[in-house]
Structures are given as structure tokens and as C-alpha cells.
Amino acid sequence: MDALRISPRYTSLDWQRLDSSDPKDWPTAVDIVRDRLDGRFLRFANDCLKQKYSGFVVLAIDCLLAETIQQFMEGIIRDDESSRKLFKRFLTGKHFQTHFDPQAREAFYVDIRCGLLHKAEAKNMWLIRRNQSSLLKIEGGQLYIIDVERFHAALQSTFDDYLKAITEPANSPLRSNLWKKMDHICSVRTARGALYEGEDNAVSSLG
């Protein structure tokens, strides 16, 4: 066995068969990235968002994705790249920048991203709400109120914009960064596949 899944519908071999210089392969490349992030994360966050009291889990998923999408944009494969810098750069994107000034970006990283992923709690003066008139409200310079539905919608829009951008041949740096990131992901999956069964076969063997 030499391939493991990189998304619900694709394996590492599906990616490695593609050629970045062949225009006919780019629609499949874009679909693989969409299937990886939507099929393993976004669609579950969308389902969770329909449930009461799901704000924490949806924001936790979104925080994972924010950093991951930024890594794809920049072609980051090193584990030593600063999560703080990556995450804060993501929040400078067009769907977030009008809501997050530098202080709010830092506070969100520390109190929400790190709070949820490391301690399963929002730290300090943060509240997670819905049905607000804006994505982020700041009261008294200390109390932050984040609208999880608006934040999730902004992240979804950022991802959609990214997928649209990499369909354009003119965006060659963005495309090169994508290929670098996916090549790294698939090389790791191929190495694992030489030692372990693929997910489908493993499930099948368990009945």
C-alpha cells in the first residue's frame, strides 16, 4: 500500500499524477484542495453551526482552518513557522481587516485561538455570540464580543476567494505555494502508506 487519503475523495497518488505545468490538471488540483478543507472541516463546521451552543466548536474548527489556509497561501511547510504570525496575517485579509485592528488580532489569537485549542475556553474578556450587527464588537476597550456566524461566513468567503484565485494562471506565486504545500502533504502520506493500510481498506478489514 503506497497511498493514503488526503481528502474524502482523493489519495496522495491522485495528486502526484498531476502536472503543475499542464493547464488541464489545474481544475483537479483546485478540487483536491476544496475537497480536503471542505470535506474534512468546513462542512462539519457548517453542520455544527445549526445547533445551539456550538459556537465554541465552530470557532475552534475555524481557527484550525485560518492557520491552514494561510499556510496554503504562503506555501508554508515548516513546523517552526510562527503560528501567531500566520494567524494574525490571516486576519489582515479583506473579510477581516475592517473588524480587527492590531490589538484585536493579538487578543483574538491569544484568547480565542489559543484559548479554545489549548484549554477549550475563551480567555479574558471575550464573549461568543450570534445575531450581532457586526462581526466583532469592542466595548470599553476590553470586552470583545465575536459573532461566530459572521466570523465563519468571513472564513468561508476567504477560502472561496482563494480557490477562485488559484484557478487563474496569472496567480503563479499563489499556485507555486499551493503546489509546494500539497507536495509536502502527499510525500508524508506516501511514506505512511508504505507502512499502513489506507483508510478505506482499514475500515473494510474491521467490518
C-alpha 7/C-alpha 34 separation (Å) is 9
Q: Give tens-digit pLDDT for 59-112.
A: 999 999 999 999 999 999 877 668 999 999 999 999 999 999 999 999 999 999
Q: How many CA atoms lie within 13 A of 107 on its CB side?
A: 20
Residue 201: per-residue pLDDT: 52
Distances (CA, A) of 201 to 2, 4, 90, 96, 206: 12, 10, 37, 42, 9
Pairing of strands 126-129, 143-147: parallel
**Closest-CA residue to 157 (of 75, 86, 66):** 66
pLDDT at residue 207 is higher than 90: no
Res. 195: pLDDT tops 60 = no
Confidence band for 184, pLDDT divided at 50, 70 and 90: very high
CB 63 within 8 A of CB 90: no
pLDDT digits 0-9 by tens, 112-151: 999 999 999 999 999 999 999 999 999 988 899 999 999 9
Rounded distance, CA 184 to CA 61, Å? 22
Tell me the CA distances in angstroms from 115 to 59, 68, 101, 132, 181, one per residue in order: 11, 18, 20, 22, 27
Residues listed for the chain: 207
| Extended strands (E) in 10-77 | none
